[in-house]
Amino acid sequence: MRAALALPIPSAFGAKCGSSRLKLGVATYSLRKFSRPDAISMLKQLGVRYLSVKEFHLPYADAPEALARGRSEFDNAGLDIVSGGVVVTRDEDDSRLRRYFDYAKACRMPMLIMMPAARQLPLIEKLVQEYDIRVAIHNHGPEDKNFPTPDSAYQAIRPLDRRIGVCIDVGHTARTGADVIASIERCADRMIDMHIKDLRDTGGHTDCEVGRGVLPIPAILKLLLRLNFQGNVALEYEADPENPLAGMRASLAYMSGAVDALAP
């Protein structure tokens, strides 16, 4: 692994000062090439607290006892799992949806980030009500035939239990040609999670360090502060998967510095 950039990192991202700060966290998909122990070590180096954990680090196939032990490893490291995912169910039989809620229960995850088919939403609503586990529908760009944009997810979940909301992925939103800021404003009352990243251009998967691309990151953070957004603002760093630590460090430092400059 290349040496990490020597940039200042706060001791705990997401430490809140009244209601003026944001929960800056990490989606562990960023560390998909690393084992759970290595990922935890890297997260501690980054100084983050809030996590959305991908199944690479708490596998779906593990028994409940193994999942509980895995969750304890994060707890013991001072890391707070606020969600699991992204859980992709759009091509699965509806009968398999319950297993993901059992998985979340075993991992003590209060929320699942999901990419379902539109037809699965009524059953997801029933499972949300049964398990009292929140669900955030993740938009995944022009390749996603169900929910490419935040607005498409928002319109679908509006009639449903309010424990079902949206997870806005700003990169995938921009790739559809949608206005990211306007999308956040329209979905604000049901936005319960965010995946944040940056792109060199919006024509494809051109991920780069946050602050070095074309997305309006300061404007996004300013809007989240104005909205008093209480969800996880999770860095999902998809560039350089074999050596992500330096880029993640730079991205988190940029976001934290921007929030410090914007917040009173």
Higher pLDDT, 91 or 164: 164
1-59, pLDDT tens digit by residue?
A: 333 333 334 434 443 332 348 999 999 999 999 999 999 999 999 999 999 999 999 99
Query: pLDDT over 70 for what percent of the chain?
Result: 92
**pLDDT in the model for residue 232:** 97
Amino acid at 129: Q
Are 170 and 196 in contact by the 8 Å Cβ rule? The answer is yes
Backbone angles phi, psi at 137, to 5 degrees: -80, 125
Is 249 a residue whose pLDDT tops 60? yes
How confident is residue 133, by pLDDT bands cut at 50, 70 and 90? very high
**pLDDT in the model for residue 239:** 94
CA-to-CA separations, 95 to 91, 98, 100, 127, 218, in angstroms, rounded: 12, 7, 11, 12, 42
Please state at what angle helix 180-187 crosses helix 217-226, rounded to 10 degrees. 20
What is the overall mean pLDDT for the chain?
92
**pLDDT in the model for residue 165:** 98
Whole-model pTM? 0.91
**pLDDT in the model for residue 204:** 85
For residue 26, say if its preceding peptide bond is cis, omega within 30 degrees of 0.
Answer: no
For 76-97, what is the mean pLDDT? 95
Are 135 and 161 in contact by the 8 Å Cβ rule? The answer is no
54-82 core/surface letters (b: 16 or more CB in 10 A; e: else): bbebbeeebeeeebeebbeebeeeebebb
Q: Which CATH class is domain 23-262?
A: alpha beta
147-180, pLDDT tens digit by residue?
A: 999 999 999 999 999 999 999 999 999 999 999 9
**pLDDT in the model for residue 195:** 98
Are 258 and 217 in contact by the 8 Å Cβ rule? The answer is yes
CA nearest to 90, candidates 55, 58, 61, 114:
114
